[in-house]
Amino acid sequence: MGLKNLGKPWSDRFEVGLHPFIESFNASIKFDFLLLQEDLDGSIAHARMLGKTGIINADEASQLEKGLNQIRLEASQGVFNADQPAEDVHFAVENRLIELLGPLGKKLHTGRSRNDQIATDIRLWLRRKIDEINFDLENIQKILLGHAEKNLYTLIPGYTHLQRAQPVSLAHHLLAYLEMFQRDRDRLVEVKSRVNTSPLGAAALAGTSLPIDRLYTADQLNFTSIYSNSLDAVSDRDFAVEFIAASSLIMVHLSRLSEEIIFWSSEEFSFVKLTDRCATGSSIMPQKKNPDVPELVRGKSGRVFGHLQALLVMLKGLPLAYNKDFQEDKEALFDTVVTVRNSLQAMSILLEEGLEFSLDRLGSAVESDFSNATDVADYLVSKEVPFREAYQIVGRLVKLCMKEGILLKDLSFDQWQDMHPAFDQDIYKRLTPEHVVASRISQGGTGFAQVSAQLENWQNQFSSLKE
């Protein structure tokens, strides 16, 4: 509907039509039609402004707004599905408006260019998508918090260099991801503050001689400010780079969590079991249960990183102001949003329905290593043994245990005393994983009291959002 006998969005200066392949190569309608609602919103605000300033009369402005709402209705009914020969979503809307209103429809583009029009549309769209991603991040935080609340006293080996280091509360481990995702949310808020600046009225690059009111259109579209330089307004894509950079960090955090789940679900770790809801099998090995969700999320991170690189390379050599290269920003932005949202939602389902922690396995894991060695050194320090001396003593104790094929807890009291007279019977209590974890009383540590306080902080934070 509304796409027959289209002219071109440029002047009659041209005598020969585009080569058919170049026409298709040049068009963006196949992907920028996603911006239809934003284009209609921006056009309605622009029409109202034209009427308010007297550039067109009030009745004309009203008729333009009605026509644009008619197009919105047609789109909702599935009868306005633009495609070539329309070059882009703006031209498709304008031509349908002309079909509906006749010559009046040709007045809508007064005082603006497709350059500031697309710059406005993409900001309106991205502003809404940032809110949706922020919601997805909050949801995964709440799911992680639910697991953490149930596992304050569940212990898990903590690693450095992927080697057993010290036992930690499982809740503490999970809360680390809440912190990461909170930084992601904070970054999105910052990006949104720069997305939320109106370029509308900058026209092609230099503004317009017509008495438009840019502050009025900005207010109509809920922008918090306007660009103060028209060249910058139509050529700025910093916000797109910032958004994909912030999205890349979201994917980094999801990929790190994915990696841990993949490790934990392996036979070698067996810290979690995958449920049938979120795992697949092998076409040849009937015993297999594969962690497809975290593997896909881990893999999809590369898509977003690639989009960031593509935008940076696209922008780095562009002179002011608008260049056709900018058409390449949309597919990168659109795919980034889809990839991030799908990854967040898939990971949320996995965390909520797709895995179960193997508490027995976790319990035995923290009992079967030397991750309490630092606590033996701290024990000696509490007996006024210098730390570096205590460190060497514990190193010799570990060496002795490894030679005999035992753990620190299996040493006889005489062996402790032979190594240093400061050791007393209470050393055995200090070696238990529960005591090791509970003793971490420094702020931000894994001690139960500290983690309990952090759980309460997160509970209060999410409760305050409901009020």
7 compared with 32, residue with greater pLDDT: 32
Given the structure tokens 């702020």, which residue do they identify?
443
Looking at the domain assignment, is residue 356 inside a domain? Answer: yes
Query: Are 408 and 338 in the same domain?
Result: no
Which residue out of 161, 209, 463, 464 is catalytically annotated?
A: 161
Looking at the domain assignment, is residue 323 inside a domain? Answer: yes
Q: CB within 8 A of 50, min separation 6: which ones?
A: 56, 60, 61, 64, 107, 108, 110, 111, 212
Looking at the domain assignment, is residue 10 inside a domain? Answer: no
Please report, for the domain that includes residue 66, its CATH number: 1.10.275.10
Query: Are 102 and 56 in the same domain?
Result: yes
Query: Are 195 and 49 in the same domain?
Result: no
What average pLDDT does this structure show over 209-232?
A: 98
Query: Are 144 and 283 in the same domain?
Result: yes
Least confident of 132-136, 288-292, 326-330: 288-292
pLDDT digits (tens, 9 = 90+) for 405-454: 999 999 999 999 999 999 999 999 999 999 999 999 999 999 999 999 99
Residue 282 annotated in active site: yes
Query: Are 242 and 297 in the same domain?
Result: yes
Query: Are 281 and 180 in the same domain?
Result: yes
Given the structure tokens 């690693």, which residue do they identify?
159
Q: What is each CA distance from 132 to 75, 116, 238, 456, in whole angstroms?
A: 22, 25, 21, 26
Backbone angles phi, psi at 206, to 5 degrees: -120, 10
Instruction: Return mean pLDDT, the chain.
Output: 93
pLDDT digits (tens, 9 = 90+) for 176-204: 999 999 999 999 999 999 999 999 999 99
Query: Are 203 and 85 in the same domain?
Result: no
Query: Are 423 and 447 in the same domain?
Result: yes
Q: What percentage of the chain exceeds 70 in pLDDT?
A: 95
Looking at the domain assignment, is residue 6 inside a domain? Answer: no
Domain boundary among the residues 315, 347, 365 is at 365
Backbone angles phi, psi at 269, to 5 degrees: -95, -55
For 333, half-sphere exposure in the C-beta direction (CA atoms, 13 angstrom radius) is 26
**CA distance linking residue 112 with residue 95, whole number of Å:** 16
Query: Are 187 and 249 in the same domain?
Result: yes
Looking at the domain assignment, is residue 74 inside a domain? Answer: yes
User: Could you give the maximum distance between any two Cα atoms of the chain, in Å?
Assistant: 102
**CA distance linking residue 5 with residue 86, whole number of Å:** 10
Residue 2 in this model has a pLDDT that exceeds 50? no
Domain boundary among the residues 345, 365, 385 is at 365
Please report, for the domain that includes residue 287, its CATH number: 1.20.200.10
Q: Check: CB of residue 333 under 8 Å from CB of residue 121.
A: no
Looking at the domain assignment, is residue 384 inside a domain? Answer: yes
Residue 4 in this model has a pLDDT that exceeds 60? no
**CA distance linking residue 439 with residue 142, whole number of Å:** 28
Q: Which domain holds residue 57?
A: 20-110
Residue 1 in this model has a pLDDT that exceeds 60? no
Given the structure tokens 């028209």, which residue do they identify?
230
Which residue out of 76, 282, 368, 382 is catalytically annotated?
A: 282
User: What pLDDT does residue 278 have?
Assistant: 78
pTM (predicted TM-score): 0.92
Looking at the domain assignment, is residue 69 inside a domain? Answer: yes
3-state secondary structure the chain: CCCCCCCCCCCCCCCCCCCHHHHHHHCCHHHHHHHHHHHHHHHHHHHHHHHHCCCCCHHHHHHHHHHHHHHHHHHHCCCCCCCCCCCCHHHHHHHHHHHHHHHHHHHCCCCCCHHHHHHHHHHHHHHHHHHHHHHHHHHHHHHHHHHHHHCCCCEEEEEECCEEEEEEEHHHHHHHHHHHHHHHHHHHHHHHHHHCEECCCCCCCCCCCCCCCHHHHHHHCCCCEECCCHHHHHHCCHHHHHHHHHHHHHHHHHHHHHHHHHHHHCCCCCCEEECCCCCECCCCCCCCCECHHHHHHHHHHHHHHHHHHHHHHHHCCCCCCCCHHHHHHHHHHHHHHHHHHHHHHHHHHHHHHHEEECHHHHHHHCCCCCCCHHHHHHHHHHCCCCHHHHHHHHHHHHHHHHHHCCCHHHCCHHHHHHHCCCCCCCHHHHCCHHHHHHCCCCCCCCCHHHHHHHHHHHHHHHHHHHC
User: What pLDDT does residue 250 have?
Assistant: 98
User: What pLDDT does residue 24 have?
Assistant: 83
Residue 7 in this model has a pLDDT that exceeds 60? no
Residue 420 annotated in active site: no
pLDDT digits (tens, 9 = 90+) for 338-368: 999 999 999 999 999 999 999 999 999 999 9
Backbone angles phi, psi at 16, to 5 degrees: -120, 140
Query: Are 395 and 328 in the same domain?
Result: no
User: What pLDDT does residue 9 have?
Assistant: 55
Query: Are 311 and 425 in the same domain?
Result: no
Looking at the domain assignment, is residue 290 inside a domain? Answer: yes
Number of domains in the chain: 3
Q: Check: CB of residue 220 under 8 Å from CB of residue 40.
A: no
Query: Are 268 and 185 in the same domain?
Result: yes
Q: How confident is the model at residue 108 (pLDDT cuts 50, 70, 90)?
A: very high
User: What pLDDT does residue 21 have?
Assistant: 86
